[in-house]
Structure 1
Amino acid sequence: MPRALVLGGTGLVGRATALRLLGHGWQVDLVGRDPARMPAELTSAGAKFIAAERADQAQMRAALGAGADLLVDCLCFTAADARSLLPLAADSGSTVVISSRAVYVDAQGNHVNSDVPPHFATPITEAQPTLAPTTSIDHRSREGYGANKVAAEQVVLESGLPVSVLRASRIHGVGASPAREWAVVKRVLDGRTALLLARRGAGGVHTTAAANLAALIETVAHRPGTRVLNSADPDAPSALEICRTIAGHLGHEWEEVLLDDTAPAGLGSTPWDSPHPIVLDTSAATALGHRPAGTYAATIAPALDWLVDAARKGRPPSDADYFAGYFDYAAEDAFLAKRRIGG
């Protein structure tokens, strides 16, 4: 039985990866700080929790033990993180580092966290230029996140070890934080009868189901190598299509109000709204043999049910700052009232 060790294993990506591998005959050990965060479904499925700090080399070495066939790092944010991973990767058959589409820059040097939104004229391949690497800016900041990811990528890719760097985009699934679909699910639960969408809902940022990322992780586990691969859903739905999928699953109907550029700034925004579509080219993963678990619509249902259940139990997503701008119902109602009277 092959063994997988997942660092940051109780989070969104770790959970999906464990379920995928356990279903295909793997032994899966999940490393985390708090055993209380271990999903019961993973324990029931046979996963083992190992309490350890990602930054503690002795604890990480103990968790790895005699080695692993697959090592997955969901917590590699900086060059220092990457350097600490290398001794573990040396004793693993294949290593995966989770990265992000936040590393890419357009022709003007703009990226997804810059003040000026990027404009990628075509789907983004792995050859697209990236930010310059940095170790001097906090990786938790807007300007530092992508640049630190680039620095981490460079460390592992230059190591000579079989490490696959997977660049994902807007990951969704059970346990997501932030759970972006809450921006629509809450509106449904609040009984809103109208959905306002900026840019007529045409904007779109490519999504990545955790289940699809897990499928790619399994693919590279069987094909060790040093590479960078984009990871995204096989479709790239627009904000309008995503909202329709969510409302349809929840059996909710509302009037779709597709706003143009004359609408007030900020009105009708969603987590998937973008002045220019951001789409990842995943042909390299496909050529390697990757077969996605499903489209956005086919993979999102469990996350929507999880959000509804959490809300009914009085435990909705706690990312208040992230969602603050999505529920200005007073501004929406004022716009709709003015629209009705032809103002």
Structure 2
Amino acid sequence: MPRALVLGGTGLVGRATALRLLGSGWQVDVVGRDSARVPPELTAAGAQFIAADRADQGQLQAALGAGADLLVDCLCFTAADARSLLLLAANSTSTVVISSRAVYVDAEGNHVNSDVPPHFATPITEDQPTLAPTTDIDYRSREGYGANKVAAEQVVLESGLPVSVVRASQIHAVGASPAREWAVVKRVLHGRTALLLARRGGGGVHTTAAANLAALIETVAHRPGTRVLNSADPDAPSALEICRTIAGQLGHEWEEVLLDATAPAGLGRTPWDSPHPIVLDTSAATALGYQAAGTYAATIAPALDWLVDAARDGQPPADADYFAEYFDYAAEDAFLAKRVGRLGR
């Protein structure tokens, strides 16, 4: 029985990966700091929990033990993280590091966290230029996140070890933080009868189901190598299509008000709103034999159920700052009232 060790195994990516591998006959050990955070379904499926701090090399070496067939790091954010990982990767047949589409820059040097939104004229391949690596800016900042990821990628890719860097985009699953779908689910639970969408609901930012990321990780596990791979859903729905999917799965109907450039600034924003589409090219993953677990619509239901249940239990997502701009009902109602007035004249 092959063995997988998943660092950050209790999070949304680790959970999906562990469940996928357990279903394929792997022995899976998930590493985390708190056993209370282990999802019940992982224990039920046969995963073993190992308590260890990602920053404690001794604890990580003890968790690895005699080695692993697959090592997955969901918590590699900096070059220092990457250097500590190499000591484990040297004793693993295949290693996967989770990275992000936040590393890519367009022709003007703009990226998804820059003040000026990026404009990628075509789907982004793994050869697209990236940010310059940095180690002196906090990775938890807008400016530092992507640049630190690039620094971490370079460390593992230059090691000569069979490490696959997987760049994902807006991962969705049970336990996501931020759980972007909450921007629509909350509106449904509040019984909103109209949905305002900026830019007529166009644009769109490619999404990645944790289940699809897990499927790619399993593919890589059987094909060790040093490479970079994009990971995203097989479709790239627009903001309008995502909102329709969520409302449809929750059995809710509303009027879609598709706004143009004359609408007030900030009205109709969603987490998937973008002046230009941001789409990842996943043909390199497909060439390895990867097959997606499903489209956005086919994979989002568990996350929606989780959000609805959490809200009904009085425990909705806590990312208040992230979601604040999406629920200005007063501004929406004022716009809709004026719209009705104009239509009535």
TM-score bracket for the superposition, by shorter chain length: over 0.9
In the other structure, the counterpart of 2:224 is 224
- In structure 1, the residue matched to 2:197 is 197
Q: Secondary structure at the match of 1:166?
A: strand
- Cα deviation, residue 24, structure 1: 0.4
Alignment match, 1:37? 37
Partner of 1:123: 123
Amino acid at match of 2:140: R
Deviation at 1:134, TM superposition (A): 0.4
Correspondence list, 1:9-48, <5 A: 9-48=9-48
How far does the alpha carbon of each residue in 1:291-326 deviate from its partner, in whole angstroms, 9 at most, with x for none? 000000000011101111111111110111110111
Rounded to whole Å, the distance in 1 between the matches of 2:323 and 2:32 is 27
Query: Percent of counterpart pairs with the same letter?
Result: 89
Report the AA paired with residue 253 of structure 2. Answer: E
Moved over 3 A (4+): none
Deviation at 1:72, TM superposition (A): 0.2
What is the distance in 2 between the residues matched to 1:23 and 1:308?
27
The one-letter amino acid of 2:267's match is L
Counterpart residue type for residue 304 of structure 1: L
2:311 match: 311
Q: Deviations over 1:43-83 (max 9, x none)?
A: 01100111110000000000000000000000000000000
Name the CA distance, whole Å, in 2 between partners of 1:72 and 1:265.
42
Per the TM alignment, residue 264 of structure 1 is displaced from its structure 2 partner at its CA by: 0.8
The whole-number CA distance in structure 1 between the counterparts of 2:313 and 2:268 is: 28
Matched with 1:106 is 106
- Find the aligned partners of 2:287 and 2:16 in 1 and give their Cα distance: 23
Counterpart CA distance in 1 for 2:272 and 2:33 is: 31
Shift of 1:203: 1.5
1:134 aligns with 2:134: yes
SS, match of residue 145 in structure 1: helix
Secondary structure, counterpart of 1:49 in structure 2: strand
Aligned length: 343
Distance 1:252 1:203 in 2: 23
TM-score computed with the length of structure 2 as normaliser = 0.99
Matches within 5 A, 1:1-343: 1-342=1-342
> 1: CA distance between counterparts of 2:330 and 2:279?
33
The one-letter code sitting in structure 1 at the alignment partner of 2:301 is A
Paired residue secondary structure (1:144): helix
CA deviation digits over 1:216-268, x for unaligned, max 9?
00000000000000000000000000000000000000000000001111100
Give the Å deviation of 1:280: 0.2
Q: Secondary structure at the match of 2:339?
A: helix
1:178-210 residue CA offsets vs partner (Å, 9 max, x unmatched):
100000000000000000000000020000000
Q: CA RMSD in A?
A: 0.6
Alpha-carbon separation, structure 2, partners of 1:27 and 1:178 = 30
Supply the AA of the counterpart residue of 2:311.
A
State the one-letter code of the partner of 2:21: L
2: CA distance between counterparts of 1:183 and 1:138?
28
Cα deviation digits, residues 131-180 of structure 1 (max 9, x gap): 00000111011010000000000000000000000000000011101100
Give the TM-score normalised by structure 1.
0.99
Q: Matches of 1:342 and 1:51 in 2, distance apart? A: 62
Any stretches of 5+ residues in structure 1 without a counterpart? none
